[in-house]
Structure 1
């Protein structure tokens, strides 16, 4: 048990003391404050076809609890899914493998550290939700239970499962981060579709988020008191302008024993995932894979040596007949190398998916290609861009890279240009279709957006020293773009953003990010 506690403590402190966690926490606090919008806001987080609850303690507490459960489950996976990978990279796993800690205890410790990170964010949102009620409440009495129970029965069990899924994904998918993201979000979408299915269970037993229980209670309340026939309630950040709502007083849920017991079952499901994963965990033993790789390399080297021996006699090699050394201090070879590193990174099968989306953008309706397919295609490259300037530290060669010839004038611009070249190449179908219709503003907006996303990856990578913050931020940005949130439309896909003013805003952001990242990298080089 002492080993288990030490692993959990060390992993938790390592995660929570990073800049990326602090920035993610700040963003989460802002989002938690936005879960209950003011009356003058142009958006809502719960849409019931023109109805909105009075801001009493039940409404504020339950909406905050369900939104925390939903949103943190949505992007929390990206935040905590690299615990085992970090132990492999730092070789701490080799030390752990020699200890008496079993596979199950080790994976359980990683799951619990993931869970504690998510619970830390949840605790902050809980405090913010109470503060929001005190600020925006409508002279309603404060009832603590209306804040405690939603977080206790909605967020806590759901996040336990999310933390377990993060560990399970690492065990079975290893370093295939983008594949982990895709499978998780497919499962998340399937789960949400099952929850929203008409005729689902009224008990909410099969709903890890508790979403169906709350939506059905709200629809029944509105239908009973206002003679309506509302079938569903929409959750999320829904931008619908300054719309007038009809108010109703909702007093919360009546918790049933079967629903409370189902929360324990979901926690048991998470523990079951950890146990199954422990049966297949490699325990940092890569000897077999390395042996097979070595045999292949040795056989290939033997063949090459045999062929070379037939052509060249080592005893007759003369330095005078060898070609003279040539030096190239230009930036083009670095751009070429960085671009090849980008496209060769990850599994080759992912390029089949990229190619399918790339071709689909030529044949799909322009609106869908611009607003949906292109943001998804760009997000699939998240692991490539997130490692654009962090791979040197990850592989511990930044001492050599920073000491190279003019790293600030050659290496960093080459990395940025390679990333922009990849983004523009992936955006070519939409760019070509925009040119064919003489939509020059759309072309400029696309180029601006391609540059922005690469500069964000570089800036966040340099400032935080890791890739996690960019991955979470890019996911949230893509989610907002697909839902057509105006302020997140970095590609300029909305008609209102085909204007010089919006283009100038994005351009100024690009210039600001460029200045910041060069200053930060210059500081790192001088204080290495």
Structure 2
């Protein structure tokens, strides 16, 4: 079962995308001489690119990224067994619930370890390409992967199983929760006082500082930085003799592995074992809609989907209307579907945010807008993927104007975004903040465009649920280059990109989504059938 899960996962696009991003981050961790971008900064220095240093920085970079992205690559293994009916077949065998959960955990670990292996191979290539220390020491290079990165991959794999086996966390809520957890681990885990040693960075940073001190380099005025950063001056080099993990660090890594195993077995207490009769109302409500199973093809081959080419049938006694003539009604229908299932509590929180925006001083409007534009996260993530998740692709494919349906769904997302941020907009307009209102307008187009594009391309909501909280977090922390809504201010004026640039990016995302949707909407004729003239 572990090997089957591994083979299944390495063939999906999400695996390749996450792997390429991880390899790219490993490349950035070993920047060229004179580069201003780096992943590890030791008080303005970096180690000579030998096996010990290259292995350390690439292991830290990959652990940091795969703790977040790897979760979304491996977290659908139990859900896939639900969709395909394999889970019910397994439940009828002698395989017990603990054995099933451990097998899924093993598959997750195998996938993440395979990605670490590719990054380790990339590290060897980068060491040889940089040419500062051509001798490759496999032990020195792989030790950071085993001691630092591997335990975090085990913990991530266990968390994916735990979330999938827990009704409240197996849907979009779980995706958002893990984004927050991973973000906290990235930040708090770098502290030397973090529980269980965090990421293990404190021990590594101490080793770096000892080497700098032994070479007469004063590092007291600088610190240790882990994460993609821009430095004004290229990093200077120092000789790092390597790293020997302390006993306390090794013990903390083993404890993390033990905690991961406990998390895997914890759902034995409530896992439904694919029995729908054991699902509670709350669990059913929290479950993300799953794709309808594809109909099996007949022995003679798939039948052509003739309905795609049929003209719309006008209602009796009425003149036929163009597809664009019913566009407003189509938008209204898309908006109703987008908002379906939202409880009164959801609307109550949205209303409270609007009231707070109108009641607070005008200077608080950008801050309230940040809150307003994180609240509909799970609703936005439905854009572009809802029809597939509900099994409606073929039905909606018969609509006479695919472009009209495409734009109607995007327009519904824009209307939702505008409604969620209406309070801050009114407050900015009342205060005469025209620059803030312009940034608001660009953001109101950008957010649904991002969600729509990711949904259309990936056909699931997980990429947006993972990416948008990170983007939002950067804006909250005043990272102006990515401020798409005008929250970062200098002298009261938005410090981020010009609204026209944000709108241009939004339209580019919409265009990319349109191109992908157009390719997928082409009718599929049986093999050997001639296309109409």
Q: Which band: TM-score by shorter chain?
A: 0.7 to 0.9
Which residues of 2 match residues 164-203 of structure 1 at below 5 A?
A: 164-174=158-168, 177-188=171-182, 195=189, 200=193
Alignment of 1:99 onto 2:99: no
What is residue 265 of structure 2 aligned with on the other side? 275
Distance 1:442 1:398, change over 3 A: same
Unaligned runs of 5+ in 2: 285-315, 525-533
Aligned match for 1:400, one of 392, 395, 402: 395
Aligned match for 2:230, one of 231, 239, 262: 239
Alignment of 1:513 onto 2:503: no
SS at match of 2:326: coil
Give, in whole Å, the separation in 1 of the partners of 2:361 and 2:135. Answer: 52
Aligned match for 2:197, one of 187, 192, 207: 207
Give, in whole Å, the separation in 2 of the partners of 1:408 and 1:122. Answer: 42
Higher RCO, 1 vs 2 (CA within 8 Å, ≥6 residues apart):
1
What is residue 302 of structure 1 aligned with on the other side? none
Distance 1:379 1:40, change over 3 A: farther
Give, in whole Å, the separation in 1 of the partners of 2:460 and 2:454. Answer: 8
Q: 1:150 offset after TM fit, Å? A: 0.9
Alignment of 1:428 onto 2:422: yes
Q: Residues 322-345 of structure 1: CA distance to partner in whole angstroms, max 9, x if unpaired?
A: xx9999962233323332333344
SS at match of 1:526: coil
Give, in whole Å, the separation in 2 of the partners of 1:13 and 1:355. Answer: 47
Contact 2:36/2:230 (<8 A) preserved: yes
SS at match of 2:196: coil
Which residues of 2 match residues 5-20 of structure 1 at below 5 A?
A: 5=1, 8-20=2-14
Q: 1:453 offset after TM fit, Å? A: 2.9
What is residue 330 of structure 2 aligned with on the other side? 334
What is residue 439 of structure 2 aligned with on the other side? 445
Give, in whole Å, the separation in 1 of the partners of 2:481 and 2:208. Answer: 30
Unaligned runs of 5+ in 1: 295-323
Q: Residues 115-156 of structure 1: CA distance to partner in whole angstroms, max 9, x if unpaired?
A: 233223322222222333333353564433332111111111
Give, in whole Å, the separation in 2 of the partners of 1:332 and 1:258. Answer: 65
Aligned match for 2:127, one of 129, 133, 137: 133
Contact 2:67/2:153 (<8 A) preserved: yes
SS at match of 1:339: helix
Give, in whole Å, the separation in 2 of the partners of 1:362 and 1:126. Answer: 53
Contact 1:441/1:498 (<8 A) preserved: yes
Give, in whole Å, the separation in 2 of the partners of 1:291 and 1:345. Answer: 13
Give, in whole Å, the separation in 2 of the partners of 1:246 and 1:362. Answer: 52
Q: 1:400 offset after TM fit, Å? A: 1.0
SS at match of 1:250: coil
What is residue 391 of structure 1 aligned with on the other side? 386
Q: What is the number of residues matched between the two proteins?
A: 486
Contact 2:179/2:469 (<8 A) preserved: no
Distance 1:54 1:376, change over 3 A: farther
Q: 1:73 offset after TM fit, Å? A: 0.9
Q: Residues 26-48 of structure 1: CA distance to partner in whole angstroms, max 9, x if unpaired?
A: 33332222223344444432344
Alignment of 1:256 onto 2:246: yes
TM-score by length of 1: 0.78
Alignment of 1:284 onto 2:312: no
Aligned match for 2:207, one of 210, 213, 217: 217
Using the TM superposition, name which of 60-69 and 119-128 deviates more: 119-128
Contact 2:331/2:408 (<8 A) preserved: yes
Structure showing the higher helix proportion among its residues: 1
What is residue 477 of structure 1 aligned with on the other side? 471
Give, in whole Å, the separation in 1 of the partners of 2:455 and 2:262. Answer: 36
Aligned match for 1:82, one of 76, 95, 108: 76
SS at match of 1:253: coil
TM-score by length of 2: 0.77
SS at match of 1:122: helix
Q: 1:79 offset after TM fit, Å? A: 3.2
Q: 1:347 offset after TM fit, Å? A: 6.5
Distance 1:24 1:420, change over 3 A: farther
SS at match of 2:268: helix
Give, in whole Å, the separation in 1 of the partners of 2:368 and 2:131. Answer: 41
Contact 2:48/2:237 (<8 A) preserved: yes
